[in-house]
Each structure stands twice: as structure tokens, then as C-alpha cells.
Amino acid sequence: MADEPKKPDEPEGRAPAQPEGEPASLPETREGAEGKEAAPEIPTVLPLLPVRDIVIFPYMTLPLFVGREGSIAAVEEALARDRHIFLATQKDPSVEEPKVEDLYRTGTVAMIMRMLKLPDGRLKILIQGVVKGRILEFMESRPAVRVRI
């Protein structure tokens, strides 16, 4: 059966359809009641990490260097909770302490995969975008800013 030629109506890259009466052998996934893969639980209030010169999209994985006091506090808060953080791009990358009007409202919820403290006090984090989000409300708190998405 393994050496059967591929039928012309089957799309390339897909496994052929299972014959009737034979169970499909699928990899195990976490499934909800509807049979679809369960989406990760994302809180509605997250610490905010303003980023310069880059737009992060869902499923992107990249390292970031974090050095501002408020940004370090946001990373530490995210690590103490569930590792989720909201990334919003600054409109002007030269602004050192961005305010509400200096940030785009649309951004990305990301998961902090790894964190490394550098000798100069900065952090190097590896993040992965999870889902696109929009800031509904800024919740000022020191030292990290939180947003409601």
C-alpha cells in the first residue's frame, strides 16, 4: 500500500485520505470540545514593552535587548506572571521615555521564551509573537506600564 502512485486529484504535500473503516493516525494535540486545537489563554491586562525600529508579528521569533528601567520592569513582571507581554512600536525611535501618544495602538502579544541578564544591567530576551492586539486603555503604574487589550 505504501508504494501506490499518488492520485492526480490529491493535493501535493497532504496525506492521502483514509479508507473508510480505518482510523486516522494523527499526532496528539490538545483539543477543545469542538475538536479544534485550544487557543492559549491570554490575559486582557498585560505589561507594555515599547519597541523601536521594528514591528513584531504573530509567529515571529527574535531576540530583543531591553535597557530602559520601565521596560526591564515590564519584562520582570511578565516573567513573574505568565510570560505574556504586549509589544507596541514607537512612532519615533529617538524618544527615550515614550508616552501614550508616542506609541502605535496596534501591537502584538508575545511570549517571553528566554531571558538573560547582561553584565551592563540590560536584559536580552527571546520573544515569540502570539497574536495581534489593540490597546484599549493605558493603565499607568510604576515602574512598568500596563495596558488593557
Higher pLDDT, 43 or 17: 43
Burial of 147 (C-beta count, 10 Å sphere; 0-12/13-18/19+): buried
Please report the pLDDT score of residue 141 as a whole number.
Answer: 74
| Host domain of residue 66 | 45-148
Q: Domain containing 69 — which CATH number?
A: 2.30.130.40
Higher pLDDT, 24 or 3: 3
Residue 69 forms part of a structural domain = yes
Q: ∠ CA(27), CA(28), CA(30), 5° rounding?
A: 135
What pLDDT digit, counting tens, does each position of 26-66 carry?
344 344 445 455 556 888 899 999 999 899 999 999 999 99
For 103-146, the DSSP string reads B-SEEEEEEEEEEEE-TTS-EEEEEEEEEEEE--EEE--SSS-E
Residue 50 forms part of a structural domain = yes
Q: Is the pLDDT of residue 19 over 60?
A: no
Residue 32 forms part of a structural domain = no
Which residues touch 81 (CB under 8 Å, ≥6 apart)? 43
Residue 9 forms part of a structural domain = no
What pLDDT digit, counting tens, does each position of 59-118 carry?
999 999 999 999 999 999 999 999 999 999 999 999 988 888 999 999 999 999 999 999
Residue 12 forms part of a structural domain = no
Torsion (CA) 29, 30, 32, 33 in degrees, nearest 10: 70
Residue 66 forms part of a structural domain = yes
Measured between alpha carbons, how far is 25 from 134 in angstroms, rounded to an integer? 39
Which three cell numbers, joined as nine digits, stand for 77? Answer: 513582571
Number of domains in the chain: 1
- Which of 52, 72, 45 has its CA nearest to residue 143? 72
**Order of strands across the sheet with 137-139?**
61-66, 123-134, 106-117, 84-89, 45-51, 146-148, 137-139
Residue 1 forms part of a structural domain = no
